[in-house]
A and B are shown apart, each in its own frame.
Chain A
Amino acid sequence: MVSSDDIRRRIEAALPGAQVTVADSTGAGDHFEVCVRADAFVGRTLVEQHQLVYGALGTLMGRIHALALQTETPQEARG
């Protein structure tokens, strides 16, 4: 079983300074909702932003059934 903290730590390690919120949608450790706000997303397409996060999660993805992901840059968050 994967924990919300596992997910948050992996993303924070790969994207320093990122603000990460993780919700375990069902409490069963296999469905998560993840929001990431990071400077690293500036100038990247949505696909590239999500690929950065999936890359950070690596092998964890194989143990999760569903992960709903939202990414944004700090500028988008303020706007």
Chain B
Amino acid sequence: MNDVLTEIEQEIRDNKVVLYMKGTPAFPMCGFSAAAVKLLREVGVPFKAIDVLAEPEKREAIKQYSNWPTIPQLYVGGKFVGGSDILREMHARGEFAPLVRQVAGVG
């Protein structure tokens, strides 16, 4: 488990925007993951996607890492931003795009 947590830490450190999801951006395997991908594409920032279905050990480790029980999970600038509901709420408040663009250095 420790090796996986170390790998997660590195992914989150090395990539400005990281989405842990079920499936891939091209073929999401869950509606909530699909919604997160759609939102990131609307904002227009590059992001690294990790498919937890392809890496089952990461599916449990990421929940432990963030103390968060569900997938998807978005990390921006090394910090956990939230899951599906929080992304939707931040988007509704107009807070999502500015945060992600600022950290990603886009727009």
Contact = CB atoms under 8 A, between A and B. Distances in A.
How many interface residues does chain B have, given as a range? 10 to 19
A68 B85 contact: yes
Contacts, number: 30
Interface string A45-69: 0110011001001000110001111
A77 to B, nearest CB: 14
Contacts of B81: 47
Given A54-B69, A61-B69, A47 B85 contact: no
B85 A50 contact: yes
Contact of B90 (A46, A50, A68, A70): A46
A51 B89 contact: no
Contacts of B77: none
Interface in A19-78: 46-47, 50-51, 54, 57, 61-62, 66-70
A47 B89 CA distance: 11
B80 to A, nearest CB: 7
How many interface residues does chain A have, given as a range? 10 to 19
A47 B82 CA distance: 6
A70 B89 contact: yes
A15 to B, nearest CB: 17
B65 interface: no
Interface of B: 32, 67-70, 80-86, 89-90
